[in-house]
Amino acid sequence: MTPPQLTILGGGVCGLYAAHHALARGARVVLLEKEERYGGLAAGHLCDGNWFDLGVHMLHAFDREVFETCREAMGGERLEVPLKSHIKWGGKLYHYPLRGRDILAGIPPLTLARCLGGLALAELESRFPSRPPGADAESALIELYGEPLYEFFFEDFTHRYWGLHPRELSAEFVRRKMPRLSALDVFKNLLEKLHLARPRDATEGALRFETLHYSRTGSEALPRKLAESARAQGAELRSAQPVERIHHQHGRIQAVETAQGQLPVDNVLSTLPLPELVKKLSPAAPEAVRAAAARLRFKPMTVYALLLKKDRCMDALYTYYRDRIFHRVGEPKNAGLEVTPAGHTTLIVETTCEVGDRKWTGEALPDILADLAAEGLCTAEEVVSQRLIHARHAYPVFALGFEKHLAVVTDYLAGFANLRSTGRQGAFTYPNMHTAMRMGAEAAHELLS
Say if residue 250 is exposed, middle or buried (CB neighbours under 10 Å; 0-12, 13-18, 19+). Answer: exposed
Q: Where are the alpha helices (DSSP H) in 178-242?
A: 183-193, 221-232
pLDDT at 178: 66
State CA 23 to chain mean position distance: 26
Least confident range of 17-26, 367-376, 429-438: 429-438
Average pLDDT over residues 1-11: 91
pLDDT-based confidence at residue 100 (cuts at 50, 70, 90) = low
Tell me if residue 198 falls in helix, strand or coil.
coil
pLDDT at 154: 87
CATH number of 5-42+63-71+218-295+398-448: 3.50.50.60
pLDDT-based confidence at residue 201 (cuts at 50, 70, 90) = very low
Least confident range of 19-23, 105-109, 181-185, 393-397: 181-185
Whether residue 161 is predicted with pLDDT greater than 60 in this model: the reply is: yes
pLDDT at 79: 96
Task: Please tell me the distance from the alpha carbon of residue 320 to that of residue 350, in angstroms, as a whole number.
Answer: 10
The pairing of beta strand 211-214 with beta strand 79-82 = antiparallel
The pairing of beta strand 245-249 with beta strand 281-282 = parallel
Whether residue 346 is predicted with pLDDT greater than 80 in this model: the reply is: yes
pLDDT at 233: 97
Q: Where are the beta strands (DSSP E) in 96-244?
A: 211-214, 236-238
pLDDT at 115: 85
pLDDT-based confidence at residue 200 (cuts at 50, 70, 90) = very low
Task: Please tell me the distance from the alpha carbon of residue 213 to that of residue 137, in angstroms, as a whole number.
Answer: 33
Say if residue 79 is exposed, middle or buried (CB neighbours under 10 Å; 0-12, 13-18, 19+). Answer: middle
Least confident range of 21-35, 111-125, 157-171, 233-247: 111-125
pLDDT-based confidence at residue 175 (cuts at 50, 70, 90) = confident
Cis peptide before 109 (omega within 30 of 0): no
**Residue range 49-96, pLDDT digits in tens:** 999 999 888 998 889 999 999 999 999 999 999 989 998 877 888 888
Whether residue 262 is predicted with pLDDT greater than 90 in this model: the reply is: yes
Percent of the chain residues topping a pLDDT of 90 = 74
Whether residue 359 is predicted with pLDDT greater than 60 in this model: the reply is: yes
The mean pLDDT of the chain is: 91
Provide the greatest CA pair distance for the chain: 74
Fill in the DSSP letter of residue 197: S
Contact of 188 with 99, CB cutoff 8 Å = no
| Cβ within 8 Å of residue 202, ≥6 positions away | none
Angle, CA 124 vertex, CA 118 and CA 126 arms, to 5°: 100
Whether residue 310 is predicted with pLDDT greater than 60 in this model: the reply is: yes
Angle, CA 43 vertex, CA 413 and CA 226 arms, to 5°: 80
**Residue range 229-241, pLDDT digits in tens:** 999 999 999 999 9
Q: Pick from 353, 363, 444, 364: which is nearest to 391 by CA?
A: 353
**Domain ranges within the chain, ordered by starting residue:** 5-42+63-71+218-295+398-448, 100-203
Q: φ, ψ for residue 389 (rounded to 5)?
A: -125, 125
Residue 2: how many other CB atoms lie within 10 Å: 6
Average pLDDT over residues 295-300: 97
What's the pTM value of the predicted model, to 2 decimals?
0.91
Cis peptide before 341 (omega within 30 of 0): yes
**Residue range 20-48, pLDDT digits in tens:** 999 999 999 999 999 999 999 999 999 98
Q: Which residues of 179-211 are buried (b: 16+ CB within 10 A; e: fewer)?
A: eebebebbbbbbebeeeeeeeeeeeeeeeeeee
Task: Please tell me the distance from the alpha carbon of residue 13 to that of residue 271, in angstroms, as a whole number.
Answer: 10
pLDDT at 206: 39
Percent of the chain residues topping a pLDDT of 70 = 91
What's the length of the chain?
A: 449
Whether residue 424 is predicted with pLDDT greater than 60 in this model: the reply is: yes
pLDDT at 372: 98
Task: Please tell me the distance from the alpha carbon of residue 127 to that of residue 115, in angstroms, as a whole number.
Answer: 19
Average pLDDT over residues 201-214: 57
Contact of 316 with 84, CB cutoff 8 Å = yes
Whether residue 155 is predicted with pLDDT greater than 80 in this model: the reply is: yes
Least confident range of 305-309, 320-324, 389-393: 320-324
State CA 21 to chain mean position distance: 22
Which residues partner with 307 through β-bridges?
A: 346, 385
Residue 332: how many other CB atoms lie within 10 Å: 29
Q: How far is CA 155 from CA 3, 161, 329, 342, in A?
A: 54, 10, 22, 43
pLDDT at 38: 97
Least confident range of 31-35, 149-153, 195-199, 354-358: 195-199
